[in-house]
Structure 1
Amino acid sequence: MAGNKPTASRGYDIIGDIHGCANTLARLLEQMGYNKVNGVYQHRRRQAVFIGDIIDRGPRIREALHLVRNMVERGSARIVMGNHEYNALGYCTRARAGSGKTWLREHNSRHDRLIRETLDQFEAHPYEWNDFLEWFYTIPLFIEEDDFRAVHACWDSELIEKFKQLQGGAFIDEDFLHASAAIDSFAGQVMDTLLRGTDLRLPQGMKITGRDGYVREFFRTKFWADDPSTYADVVFQPDPLPAEVASRVLAEHERKQLISYPLDAPPVFVGHYWMESEPAPLKSNVACIDFSAVKYGRLVAYRMDGERELSRDKFVWVNVARDHRDSPDYPTSEDSVAR
C-alpha cells in the first residue's frame, strides 16, 4: 500500500475513468511528461491519482490494470476505488451461508453484461484475475489531503467520518464487503453513496429509461448544489429529466435528503458521471474528470498544484476518435491531444 501514501512537494495529476483504454492512458501520461522507467510510468515531480473504474467495457482492461497497479506500487501513482472494482469484488465473491444467495452481487443479465469484457480478457489468466481482486482491497475509498480530496462519485463528509471511525482508515475489508450487500445498511450506504452518488426518487409512478437501456425510478443528484429550489438545480446525470419534471419544485423532505459541499472545503475530484461538454470545474472547488473515454469521448486529467480555486486551464485530455478507439497508434490531428 506504499503507493497510496502522500508524497511531499509534488503536484498531482488526477485522471478520470479509464475502463480498459490502456493505450489512451499511455498517451495521456506521455503528454503530461511521464516516462517509463524500468517499464513503469513515472514523473520526476508529479504523481498521478486515478479516480477508479479501471476495468470493464474497454478493449485493454488487463493492460490498464497492470499499468495502473505498477504505478501505484512504484509510488508514481495513487488510486481510489470505483464502483466497477467494487462490483467485481461482489460479483466474484460467494455469499456466506444463510444469506439465501450464491454470490454477493447477483449474476443476472445486466451484471453479466457489465463485467463480461473483463472476465473475457482474463479468461486465460485466472490466477492473475484473482490476484487483482485481492489487490482491490488495498485501494482506498477516498484520498484526503490538506489541499485536495478524491473520491469516485460523491464526497459525503458525514459518511466518510463515520467510516473512518469504524474501519480505522479509508479501506474496506471482506466483512465490510459482505455487509454492504444489504443496501440499507451503513456499509451499503457508504458504498452506494461514495461510489455511485446521491439520488432522489422520481415523482410517483414515473420512470426514465437511460441510454444504457436501464429503467430507473431515481435520478442522480449533485452533492455540491448551493440552495437549490427545483429538480433542475440538482440533477446530475447523462440522461436529462423531462422538462415538466425538471421544473418541479423540491419538497422540504427532498431538500433534507440532499448534501452539500462547502466553498471553503478543499477542492474535491470525482469521476463516474460520463461528462460530455468541454472540461471545466463544476464549482470553484468541485471537478468531475470522467469524460466518457471508452465511449469515444476524452480521457481527462486535472493538473493539481495546491490551488484553492480550480481553473479550466488546468484540465488536459486526449480525444478518442471513433475510428481510432484506443488505437495503438498515436493520435492524428483529428484524434487530437489537447492542452
Structure 2
Amino acid sequence: MTVHIDYYEMLGVQRGADDKAIKAAFRKAAMECHPDRHGGCPERTAKFKQLNEAYDCLKDPQKRAAYDRFGHAAFQNGGAGAGGFGGGGPDFSDIFSSIFGEFMDPRGGGGRQNAARGADLRYDLELTLEESFAGKSATIEIETMAPCEPCEGDGARGAAVPDRCNTCGGAGKVRAQQGFFVVERSCPTCHGHGVTIADPCPECQGEGRTLKRRTLTIQVPAGVDEGTRIRVAGEGEAGVRGAPNGDLYLFVHLKRHSIYSREGTTLVADCPVSFTTAALGGSITVPGIDGEKIEVKIPAGIQSGETLRLRGKGMAVLNGRGRGDLVACILVETPTRLSAKQKEILGQFRETETGEECPNAKSFFSRIKDALG
C-alpha cells in the first residue's frame, strides 16, 4: 500500500491558499532541501522530488481542482500518468529556470544577451583635495570596444542579416538531461549569441564591435574620498552583436595636499606656532579648502599637540548637505636662531621663573626628586 503525503501539508499551506502563497511556500521549501546544498543526500533528493510533484499539481488550476476533489486517486490508473503528472513527471528544467534562475543569474534577463554582454571597465581618476571638495566635470579618454560602424553592430556584411541559430532556436543556450537533473550550457554552434553569420563584416570579423578611443565627460560629485567608486552605467565595453554594454567604474584617488590631510569629512592641519604666541596667545591664518582665509585664534598657554576645532570648515558631505570640521593641531616650535638681544631677554625671564609658570614640569621634577630620595 502506497502512503501519499498531502500536497498542501507538504508545502505548508492551507487548502484555500492562492497561487502567490503556494509559489512562495514552494520556493522556500525547495531551497531548504535542494540536493546540491546537502551533498546529494538521497533523502533530500526524494523530498525535493516530492515538493516538485506537489507544486506541479497545485500550480495548475485543472490539476488542483482534480486533486481537491479526488486526492491522489485523480492521477492514478491513467488519470494523468500513474505516479506523476502528464505521464512525464515535472519539467525540472522549467522549475530551475523560474525558481532558481534569479540566484544563478544576478543580472537577470535572457541567457543570450548576458553571454554577450560587454565587459565592465575600470578607470583610476586622480583629483586634488580642492577638486574632491567642490566636485568636478572630468573629461577622460578610454580605449574600449565600441559598436562597429560599417555593420552597425550586428556583425554581418552590408545588407546581410544574421540568421537565427538552428541548434538553440535563438536562445543562445541548450539543455541536456543528465540523470535526475537538466543541465544548461552555452550553445556550441553560436557560442551563446543566438545567431549565426554566413557573411561576416570584414571590419569586425562578425563580432559587431571594434577597438576605439572614446572621450567621456563625467560629473564627479562634491565630497568624494579616496577609494570612492563611481558607476557610469552603459559606458563600458560594447556587447557582442548589439548585446548590452558593460559599465564603467571610476575609482577616485586623492593627491597629497601641502597643508591638509583628510579623515572622512574632517580636515587636519599641523600648525607650528612660536613659543611666545603659545605663551601669550594670538592668531594665525590658514587657507580654507574653499579658498577662504580662516583665522585660527590661539589661546594663551596652549600646549604643543593640543587641537583646535573649527566647525563647518572641513570637506563637503558626499550626497548630502553641510561640511565637516577643520582641526588645527598646534605644534609649539622652540626657536633655534636667537639674536643677542633675544638671548638677553630670555635670560632675564629665566631669572624671574618660580616654577609656577610650567606646572607640568614642576610636577615632573618633583616626582623625580621623590624617586631619588
TM-score class, shorter? under 0.3
Going by fraction, where is strand more abundant, 1 or 2? 2
Q: TM-score, normalised by structure 1?
A: 0.21
Q: TM-score, normalised by structure 2?
A: 0.19
Which of the pair has the greater relative contact order for Cα pairs under 8 Å at 6+ separation? 1
